[in-house]
């Protein structure tokens, strides 16, 4: 490496540059935080039921089989748009009933098919979980996923 770059100069570049990029990153995150709260998500529709649904999602570690907005395990279908896939936009009641019925009927026990456990959720919990999935499907995700298959 060039003789002109001394070790102390390299050290100063490291610390100075890191602070520089960190400040930019924090600034952009702050702006993004604001954008999420005001623009890309329905903060005003973040009801107690949606929040409860998110906790049910977490308590059962759904993320370790499914993906949600593309993040999670890759063992089971994407659920960020499951509300749309089940036709929730056209027929909200029908989609809700189908989703609840699906979860209640697990595990399928079919040989050679991936098994979703039975989580024994109450009717209210199922509703809350569906509310959370509906809310999630309404986040402005820059058009992702490319199609309904998720």
Asked if 104 is part of the footprint of other proteins (rule: CB under 8 A), the reply reads no
Residue selected from 4, 27, 32, 94 as contacting other proteins according to rule CB under 8 A: 32
From the CB of 92, what's the least distance to other proteins, in Å? 20
Name residues contacting other proteins, limited to 67-86 (CB under 8 A): 67-78
Q: Considering the complex, state which of residue 100 and residue 119 has its C-beta at the smaller distance from other proteins.
A: 119
Q: Considering the complex, state which of residue 112 and residue 122 has its C-beta at the smaller distance from other proteins.
A: 112
Reduce the DSSP state of residue 67 to 3 states and report it: strand
Residue selected from 90, 93, 120, 149 as contacting other proteins according to rule CB under 8 A: 149
Asked if 18 is part of the footprint of other proteins (rule: CB under 8 A), the reply reads yes
Task: Say if residues 76 and 62 touch (Cβ distance below 8 Å).
Answer: no
80/94 Cα distance (integer angstroms): 18
Closest to 103 in 3D by CA, of 142, 144, 66, 136:
66
Using only C-alpha atoms, what is the Rg of the chain? 22
């Amino acid at each position: 490496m060039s003789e002109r770059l001394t070790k102390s100069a390299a050290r100063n570049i490291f610390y100075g540059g890191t602070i520089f990029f960190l400040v930019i990153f924090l600034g952009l995150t702050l702006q993004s935080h604001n954008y999420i709260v005001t623009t890309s998500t329905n903060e005003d529709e973040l009801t107690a039921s949606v929040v409860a649904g998110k906790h049910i999602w977490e308590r059962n570690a759904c993320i370790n089989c499914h993906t949600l907005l593309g993040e999670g395990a890759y063992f089971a279908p994407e659920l960020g748009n499951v509300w749309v896939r089940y036709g929730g936009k056209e027929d909200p009641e029908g989609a809700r009933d189908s989703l609840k019925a699906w979860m209640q009927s697990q595990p399928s026990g079919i040989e050679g098919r991936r098994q979703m456990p039975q989580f024994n959720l109450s009717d209210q919990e199922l509703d809350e979980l569906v509310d959370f999935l509906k809310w999630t499907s309404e986040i402005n995700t820059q058009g992702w996923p490319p199609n309904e298959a998720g």
